Structure 1
Amino acid sequence: MCQFFALQSDVELNIIIMAARRIAQSSINWSALAERVPANQKSSFGAFKTKSDIYVRAVLANPENPPKIDWAYYKKLIPVSGLVDNFQKQYEALSVPYPKDTVSQQVDCEIEESKSEISKYKKESEQRIQNYQKEIAHLKSLLPYDQMTMEDYRDAFPESALDPINKPTFWPHTPEEQVGYKSKEQLEAEAHGHH
């Protein structure tokens, strides 16, 4: 009976070795991947790489091809007729299929979507940069604030400057102190029909 379990464990080991050999053949460009890892996730990435390296070393420690089984030796040792032949037939018929790739197309689609989103964001960012550069150029063309008079400020920033003739306001000239001011809460209440 012990020989039977030895035979069974040899078969299981060979199956594991054949499957692991296929996995070990894939290679990962760790340095390129590390460049894309955010700084706050470097420790997790390092732990993941360490586990992967340990696994790959364990897989590579096994031979590429499973060791040959001496079926005649087991036929002599095991008295049950046909048992070894049955195992041999099952073992030789066994093929470990490599898993089918069912997600690469989805990943490729997501990559293309991400690329289009990235290019759109870049264009929008370039537009924002141009607008900010115009604002910076405008601010650089102005007098320094410590040298500006109230009239200079009004000319430079007409939307935020005090205009006592066209838009008179009460001191301290904040929106909350003006006649007819309504807070955000009051506006929301009026929108919901509350007075």
Structure 2
Amino acid sequence: MAARRIAQSSINWSALAERVPANQKGSFGAFKTKSDIYVRAVLANPEKPPQIDWAYYKRLVPVSGLVDSFQKQYDALTVPYPKDNVSSQVDSEIEESKCEIAEYKKCSDERIKNYQKEIGHLKSLLPYDQMTMEDYRDAFPETALDPINRPTFWPHTPEEQVGYKSKEQLEAEAQGHH
């Protein structure tokens, strides 16, 4: 794979800046500045190194064969370009993320449908300031006070009811302590 010259940064800085938390804006700005300096430094250099005029040096250097030796070594010189060993891993992680995102969207759509049903139910009810206790019981039977089937004591919280046991008490009983 031949190395290609990068003409400009491929990062969408404005989209990335929108995702940076407010407390990290300074670090993000410093990182962007360093990146811009690096890109400018790369672009300041020519794409290919300048050609060496070997004939000029052959005329100038009195030692015979020295320039030919340097030219042979220079032409044989290759700078290895690192192999790409991680792109496949990154691509697989991207695909996994896309699957997770699709699943999350699907679950979110289901939640939205359920919430829309709840909103429809709430809109169909009388306004709270016009409701009687019986209207509330009919609309919300699971949370309404039911003195016949589920009598409770004021303030009607679980902690104030007869037979209530805290988590600590339940754990102690499970371990055999009384």
Native 8 Å contact 1:24 1:56 kept in 2? no
Aligned match of 1:25: 6
Aligned match of 2:155: 172
Tell me the SS of whatever aligns to 1:127: helix
TM-score for both structures, normalised by structure 1: 0.74
Shift of 1:44: 4.1
Query: Over aligned residues, Cα RMSD in angstroms?
Result: 2.6
1:10-89 pair list within 5 angstroms:
22=3, 24-25=5-6, 27-31=8-12, 34-37=14-17, 38-40=19-21, 43-71=26-54, 84-89=67-72
Distance 1:26 1:105, change over 3 A: farther
> Larger relative contact order (C-alpha < 8 A, sep ≥ 6)?
1
Q: 2:82 aligns with which of 58, 81, 99?
A: 99
Distance 1:126 1:58 in 2: 48
Aligned match of 1:130: 113
Native 8 Å contact 1:24 1:60 kept in 2? no
Distance 1:34 1:42 in 2: 12
Structure 2 residue runs of 5 or longer lacking an equivalent are none
Native 8 Å contact 2:20 2:28 kept in 1? no
Structure 1 residue runs of 5 or longer lacking an equivalent are 1-21
Shift of 1:169: 1.4
Identity %: 77
Aligned match of 2:135: 152
Distance 1:122 1:103 in 2: 28
Partner AA of 2:6 in structure 1: Q
